[in-house]
Amino acid sequence: MSASIHPTAVVLNGAQLGANVTIGAYAYIGADVTLGDGCVVHHHATVDGYTQLGPQCEVFPYAFIGGRTQDLKARPGKPGLKVGARNTFREYVSVHLGTQEGEWTILGDDNTLLAYSHIAHDCVIGNHLVISSHSAVAGHVHVGDHVNIGWNAGIHQFCRIGDHAMVAACSKCVQDVPPFVIADGNPCETKMVNAVGLKRSGFTDDEIGVAKGLHRLFYRDGLNTAQAIEKAQALPEASSRIVRTFVAFAQGTKRGLA
């Protein structure tokens, strides 16, 4: 089936549309845009720039996907935005291109961006993110899989958020949030293990117990990060996916752990 395009929509020459694409009234599709099979761009939505949307993405009214970076270092060129499959961009969401030629903002699969949320330039977002309304992720942030960012949270540039972590509503995140935890506050601090989220994702009670032990080791035992990493690597569960993921994240921190 060919694309269904409303007569009032603007689709510039050069745009590549997959099968069964739907474009609503007064929507705008730029010349360098690629829409995968089954994408839906609702009325008054915009997809622009050197942007590639994977199959079955949905862009709601007044969202702006592929806008030019707000980074003042930007120069003329063709930075891009790569988006995987089945991503949902609700009303007034904005996602920006990379900053320089050859640089990309990247989103994986099955992410849900709620109204008014923002993903800035050069971010790398994993899969199954839920970012709530009015939250903003600054430039060069890396977000893992199955992350939940609460309402009105702000993530500072160059921070990282680990897999299965949750950043609570109204938090100001200025350091890395490790995997498997809940972080809250201004500035954001790690509070506890995200036990409910882990359970929903299929982790066993034993694995959740290991995550709680790591939280005590890194945050309750008075150790610095290097000391906690050394002790974690000596645990009987050191080869488990919980310990390996947490330790690798801690070893890679440049801003420190929240």
Q: List residues with catalytic annotation.
A: 121-122, 139
Please check whether residue 66 is in contact with residue 47, taking contact to mean a CB–CB distance below 8 angstroms: yes
Size of the chain, expressed as the number of residues it contains: 258
> Helix, strand or coil for residue 252?
coil
Signed CA dihedral, 11, 17, 19, 22: sign only: negative
Cis ω for the linkage preceding 76 (within 30 of 0): no
Burial (CB count within 10 angstroms: exposed 0-12, middle 13-18, buried 19+), residue 209: middle
Residue 150 dihedral angles phi and psi, to the nearest 5°: -75, 175
Task: Give me 69's structure tokens.
Answer: 């970076």
What torsion do the CA atoms of 223, 226, 231, 232 make, to the nearest 10 degrees?
110
- CA proximity to 173, closest of 256, 117, 61, 63: 256
Please check whether residue 89 is in contact with residue 106, taking contact to mean a CB–CB distance below 8 angstroms: no
Question: Which alpha helices (DSSP H) does 55-192 contain, by range?
Answer: none
